C-alpha cells in the first residue's frame, strides 16, 4: 500500500506542470488575496490555503498543487486502511489502494488544486472513521468525525449532504445504536462550531451558495450533467474496468454489518439525480465500495500468482487509461486530434491562459479598465497581467461581483468574453477589438470569445453593477 501511494504521488508530481493553470486555480489565488469568512460560491479554506502556498512561491504551479497531490495520496492510503478495517490482509489493502490510485476521478482531482480533492479526502476519512464506529470501536471516534465534517464544510459545503444521508442510513439499520451516545451529539456541536463562521457569512449575504447550487443544477457550470449523463458517468468516474469491483463491494457491504454504506449510496444516487447534481458528487462513495470489493477479491484470489497478476493487470490498464485522459500526458499539439478534450473538460481549461492575457494587453487602450465575463479570464489577468502592466480586472461573475465594479470615472473599458448585444445597453460606443485565439486549435471556454472597447457608459458602473451579477 505504501509503495502504491508513493508511486501515485510521484506520477502526479512529475506531470503537474506539463500544461498550465486551471481557471479555478487562478480564481482561488485571487480569492486568497481577498481573504474573507466566505465567498458566494465557496467556503474560505481553499482560498486561504492558496494564499498560504503563494507566500512560499506565488509563481510556481507545482508548489500550488502540492496540497492537492497530498490529499489525493491520502485518499489512496485511506482506501487501503478501509480494506484493513473490513478485515482484509496485505493483498486486499494493496488491491484497494491500487484500484483507487488507478481511478480517473482521483487522478484528475489530485492533478488540480481545488475543493474537489480536499472534499474527497475528507469524505474518505469520514468513511474510514464510520467503519470503525460501526464495528464497535470507542465512541470517542465521533469527536474526530465532527472535526473532519466541520473542516470539510469550510472547504466545500456539499459534504453535509453525504454526511446527513449516511446518518439517516445508519438509522435504517440495526446498528442505529451507535448514534445513541453523547459523543455523537458532541460531534455535531464540534462540526457546527467549526463551520459557524462560513455559515454566518452566507446568512449575512443572503445565502448566495444556495442560488449558485440552483444555477449549477440548471446547467450553468461547464461540468454540469444531464440526468442521463449523471447515470452514465457513474461507470466512468473510477474507470469502467473497476465497475465489477465496486459493484461487488456494494453487494458485500449490503450483506454485512456495514449495510448503511450501500443504503447511503442508493439514497445519494437518487438525491443527486433528482436535484441536478454533478456526476462527481457521488464520487466519494466509491473508495469504500472498492475497499469492500478488494477484500472479497483478495480472498477469491488466494495464493494463486497468475490470478493476482491478472487482477493487477486490470488495475494497471485502468490506471493507464485514466492517466492518458485525465493527466497531462499527451503533448498539447496532439490534443485536438485526441478524445481527451471530449472526455476531460478540465484539460482544455489548463491551456492557453498566457496567450489570452497577451491578447488582452494588446487590445487594451491606454488607461482602460478591464471587465471580463467570467472569473477564469479575470483570474488569468491577475496572474499574468503584471508583465503587461495590466490593472486589476473586474467581473460580475461569482466572487468578483462582490469585489466591486469599475470606478464610475472609467469612461473606457476593454471587455473580455461579453457579447456585443449585452454591451449596447451599457455603453454609447462599442468597438470590436479582436477575438481570443489560443493558437492551438483547442476548443475551450475562451476560444473565439470577443474583445470590445466600451466607451462612454450610459450609466455609472456603480448603478449598473447589480445587473451584471452572475452565479455559476
Q: Structural domain boundaries of the chain?
A: 2-332, 353-468
- pLDDT, residue 219, reads 57
Q: Is the dihedral of CA 423, 424, 427, 430 positive or negative?
A: positive
pLDDT at 222 over 60: no
Confidence label for 225 from pLDDT (cuts 50, 70 and 90): confident
Query: What does the pLDDT average to over 162-166?
Result: 96
pLDDT at 230 over 60: yes
Question: 416-425 b/e with 16+ CB inside 10 Å = b?
Answer: bbbeeeebee
Query: What does the pLDDT average to over 114-140?
Result: 97
Query: What does the pLDDT average to over 373-386?
Result: 97
Dump pLDDT digits (tens) for 90-122: 999 999 999 999 999 999 999 999 999 999 999
- pLDDT, residue 472, reads 82
pLDDT at 141 over 80: yes
Residue carrying C-alpha cell 480494506: 83
Q: What is the DSSP string of 247-265?
A: HHHHHHHHTSTTTHHHHHH
- Whole-angstrom Cα distance, residue 240 to residue 8? 19
Q: 370 pairs with which residues across the strands?
A: 414
Q: Model-level pTM?
A: 0.93
- pLDDT, residue 210, reads 85
pLDDT at 203 over 60: yes
Q: Is the dihedral of CA 401, 407, 408, 411 positive or negative?
A: negative
- pLDDT, residue 429, reads 95
pLDDT at 347 over 60: yes
* DSSP 8-state class, residue 39: B
For 361-411, list the strands marked E by DSSP: 369-372, 394-395
pLDDT at 417 over 60: yes
pLDDT at 303 over 90: no
- pLDDT, residue 212, reads 80
- Whole-angstrom Cα distance, residue 333 to residue 348? 12
- pLDDT, residue 309, reads 95
- pLDDT, residue 217, reads 66
- pLDDT, residue 220, reads 53
pLDDT at 224 over 80: no
pLDDT at 87 over 60: yes
Range with the poorest average pLDDT among 225-229, 245-249, 280-284: 225-229
The percent of residues above 90 in pLDDT, for the chain, comes to 92
- Whole-angstrom Cα distance, residue 140 to residue 184? 8
Q: How many CB atoms lie within 10 A of CB 463?
A: 12
Q: SS3 for 58? A: coil
Query: What does the pLDDT average to over 408-421?
Result: 96
Dump pLDDT digits (tens) for 31-78: 999 999 999 999 999 999 999 999 999 999 999 999 999 999 999 999
- pLDDT, residue 221, reads 57
Query: What does the pLDDT average to over 373-387?
Result: 97
Dump pLDDT digits (tens) for 283-293: 999 999 999 99
- pLDDT, residue 226, reads 85
Q: Which of 87, 114, 79, 451 is nearest to 257 (CA)?
A: 87
- pLDDT, residue 213, reads 78
Torsion of CA 78, 82, 85, 89, to 10 degrees: -90
- Whole-angstrom Cα distance, residue 461 to residue 405? 6
Confidence label for 215 from pLDDT (cuts 50, 70 and 90): confident
Query: What does the pLDDT average to over 215-231?
Result: 73
- Whole-angstrom Cα distance, residue 271 to residue 320? 32
- Phi, psi (deg, nearest 5) at residue 175: -95, 20
- pLDDT, residue 113, reads 97
Dump pLDDT digits (tens) for 443-472: 999 999 999 999 999 999 999 999 999 988
Q: How many CB atoms lie within 10 A of CB 52?
A: 11
Amino acid at each position: 500500500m505504501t509503495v502504491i501511494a508513493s508511486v501515485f504521488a510521484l506520477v502526479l508530481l512529475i506531470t503537474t506542470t506539463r500544461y498550465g493553470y486551471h481557471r479555478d486555480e487562478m480564481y482561488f489565488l485571487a480569492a486568497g488575496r481577498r481573504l474573507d469568512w466566505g465567498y458566494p460560491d465557496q467556503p474560505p479554506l481553499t482560498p486561504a490555503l492558496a494564499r498560504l502556498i503563494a507566500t512560499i512561491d506565488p509563481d510556481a504551479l507545482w508548489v500550488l498543487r502540492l496540497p492537492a497531490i497530498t490529499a489525493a495520496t491520502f485518499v489512496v492510503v485511506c482506501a487501503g486502511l478501509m480494506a484493513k478495517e473490513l478485515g482484509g490482509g496485505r493483498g486486499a489493502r494493496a488491491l484497494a489502494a491500487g484500484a483507487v490510485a488507478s481511478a480517473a476521478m482521483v487522478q484528475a482531482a489530485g492533478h488540480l488544486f481545488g475543493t474537489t480533492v480536499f472534499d474527497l479526502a475528507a469524505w474518505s476519512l469520514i468513511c474510514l472513521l464510520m467503519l470503525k464506529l460501526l464495528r464497535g470501536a470507542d465512541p470517542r471516534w465521533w469527536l474526530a468525525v465532527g472535526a473532519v465534517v466541520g473542516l470539510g464544510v469550510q472547504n466545500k459545503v456539499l459534504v453535509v449532504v453525504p454526511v446527513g444521508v449516511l446518518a439517516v442510513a445508519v438509522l435504517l439499520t440495526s446498528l442505529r445504536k451507535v448514534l445513541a451516545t453523547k459523543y455523537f451529539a458532541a460531534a455535531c456541536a464540534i462540526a457546527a462550531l467549526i463551520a459557524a463562521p462560513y455559515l454566518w457569512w452566507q446568512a449575512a449575504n443572503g445565502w448566495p451558495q444556495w442560488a449558485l447550487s440552483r444555477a449549477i443544477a440548471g446547467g450553468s457550470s461547464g461540468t454540469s450533467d444531464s440526468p442521463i449523463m449523471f447515470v452514465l458517468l457513474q461507470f466512468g468516474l473510477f474507470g469502467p474496468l473497476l465497475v465489477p469491483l465496486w459493484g461487488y463491494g456494494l453487494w458485500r457491504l449490503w450483506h454485512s454489518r456495514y449495510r448503511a454504506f450501500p443504503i447511503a449510496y442508493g439514497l445519494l444516487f437518487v438525491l443527486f439525480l433528482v436535484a441536478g447534481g454533478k456526476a462527481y458528487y457521488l464520487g466519494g462513495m466509491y473508495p469504500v465500495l472498492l475497499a469492500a470489493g478488494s477484500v472479497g477479491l483478495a480472498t477469491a484470489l488466494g495464493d494463486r500468482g497468475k490470478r493476482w497478476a491478472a487482477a493487477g493487470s486490470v488495475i494497471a490498464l485502468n490506471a493507464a487509461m485514466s492517466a492518458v485522459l485525465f493527466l497531462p500526458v499527451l503533448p498539447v499539439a496532439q490534443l485536438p486530434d485526441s478524445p481527451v478534450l471530449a472526455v476531460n473538460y478540465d484539460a482544455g481549461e489548463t491551456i492557453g491562459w498566457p496567450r489570452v492575457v497577451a491578447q488582452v494587453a494588446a487590445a487594451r487602450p491606454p488607461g482602460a479598465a478591464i471587465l471580463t465575463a467570467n472569473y477564469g479570464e479575470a483570474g488569468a489577468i491577475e496572474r499574468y497581467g503584471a508583465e503587461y502592466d495590466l490593472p486589476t480586472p473586474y467581473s460580475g461573475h461569482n466572487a468578483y461581483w462582490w469585489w466591486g465594479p469599475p470606478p464610475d470615472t472609467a469612461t473606457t473599458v476593454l471587455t473580455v468574453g461579453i457579447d456585443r448585444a449585452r454591451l449596447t445597453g451599457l455603453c454609447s460606443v462599442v468597438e470590436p477589438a479582436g477575438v481570443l485565439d489560443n493558437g492551438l486549435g483547442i476548443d475551450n471556454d475562451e476560444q473565439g470569445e470577443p474583445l470590445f472597447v466600451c466607451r462612454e457608459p450610459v450609466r455609472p458602473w456603480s448603478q449598473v453593477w447589480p445587473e451584471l451579477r452572475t452565479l455559476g
